[in-house]
Structure 1
Amino acid sequence: MQEGKPRPAPVPQADRRAATRSALVSAARALFAERGYGATGTPEIVAAAGVTRGALYHHFADKIDLFRAVIDAEQRALVAAIDAATATPTDPIGALIDGGAAYLSAMGDAGRRRLLLVEAPSVLGQAEATALDLARSSLAEGVDAALAAGVLPPFPAKVLTDLLDALFDRAATAESDAQGNYLAVISALLRGLCRSHT
């Protein structure tokens, strides 16, 4: 009897499922970022992922469900960058500024900007896109910390978060060589509010 090469250990089913899901999200991310949600069909996604349509519908209810998974992955990557930049304890205003700088850096990816600032509100509606916005939640925590520390005037937290969120989103859509100017102005506004209150 001829001895053959040992067979590779079988890949556990859970690992195969995770790999298929990851391939679908990755392929969809690339296509949605390049073409937009409306111009991307599920046949293109499954072809790019190297899986069947059945696999797509095994993991996701429909195309919009897959889109939500793409947005969730982008948001988590964005928050990881912000968390890394604000991990070292600093003053609450400095943390807001550092988090904003990390946000702008992470939003330097044109695909991410399109997905989060254009496609998500258009496809999901502004209310759902805002509800899924983990970076906004991170900003809200920073605003709450600054208000709790008493370094900002006692503005309504939601209003201040809304305005800062809009400022950072506008800065993210500016030309990359202008973003430093936007961050400098936002920083000056925050520092000015801090000084006027102390």
Structure 2
Amino acid sequence: MTAGPERPREKQADRRARTRSALLESAARGFSTYGYGNVALERVAAEAGYTRGALYHLFANKEDLALAVVQWVEETWAAEVGGPAADEADPVASLLAMGRGHAVYCRRDVARVMRALSVEFAGQDHAVGRAITGVLGRLATQVADRIAAGRKSGAIPPGPPPREVALAYLGTLEGLVSSVAGHAPHDVELVERAIRGLLGLPPSRTYSDTEVEQ
């Protein structure tokens, strides 16, 4: 008797979730391509296959949408990259897995949104900029903790403070991936080389000139 009334609500919730996901992906693509200031919400809605009214039913304004995009990217990145990397018990393996996973994640056009918004709101006291700073701060802490654990175990040699190395890790990763995004499989190979060099680790293998050129 109770199952019947619940089913329509579940279907409505599913439709709402699909609509929201489509709008967030469209917005992420728009912010990545045009920047926050140049994105028209009508275009975001249309490219997702919805009306402007549908967008405003879920998001109050552009700032609300951008904040939701930042949260969505953090969640999807954690599910696809951060979570699997955290499952690696060895700190070095975890850091390498994060780098490789990030390279794969950035093969999608929506992955550039965090960098685009970060640059646009740099130096401004804006809610979107603060949200991105929070995401990057949490990520830097995770990386620094793994670097510290690797040094404690002897797997990572001594060097600058873990927090500084973590910031360099993230900067190197983002800069490299933004330059070679989509150039599979070399994006993953180059990310691993860069991480190993930054951490002071030996290369995993020796690549010949012929292999690199292929």
**TM-score of the two chains, using structure 1 as the length reference:** 0.72
SS of equivalent residue, structure 2 residue 64: helix
Preserved contact between residue 104 and residue 171 of structure 1 (Cα < 8 Å): no
2: CA distance between counterparts of 1:63 and 1:11? Answer: 28
From 115, 120, 123, the equivalent of 1:122 is: 120
Tell me how large the CA RMSD over aligned residues is.
3.1
From 160, 175, 179, the equivalent of 1:174 is: 179
Match of 2:23 in 1: 24
| 2:166 corresponds to 1:161 | yes
Structure 1 regions of 5+ residues with no counterpart? 1-8, 194-198
The one-letter code sitting in structure 2 at the alignment partner of 1:119 is L
1: CA distance between counterparts of 2:119 and 2:141? Answer: 16
Match of 2:193 in 1: 184
Match of 1:112 in 2: 111
Q: Cα–Cα, structure 1 residues 138 and 77, in superposed 2: closer, same or farther, change >3 Å?
A: farther
SS of equivalent residue, structure 2 residue 39: coil
Percent pairwise identity:
27
Preserved contact between residue 27 and residue 49 of structure 1 (Cα < 8 Å): yes
Report the CA distance between 1:172 and its aligned residue. 1.0
How many residues are aligned here? 183
Q: Cα–Cα, structure 1 residues 28 and 65, in superposed 2: closer, same or farther, change >3 Å?
A: same
Preserved contact between residue 103 and residue 187 of structure 2 (Cα < 8 Å): no
Of 38-47 and 14-23, deviating more is 14-23
The one-letter code sitting in structure 2 at the alignment partner of 1:117 is R
1: CA distance between counterparts of 2:108 and 2:48? Answer: 21
What are the within-5 Å matches in structure 2 for residues 78-97 of structure 1?
Answer: 78-82=77-81, 83-89=83-89, 91-97=90-96
Report the CA distance between 1:50 and its aligned residue. 4.4
Structure 2 regions of 5+ residues with no counterpart? 1-6, 203-214
Match of 1:40 in 2: 39
From 137, 145, 149, the equivalent of 1:145 is: 149
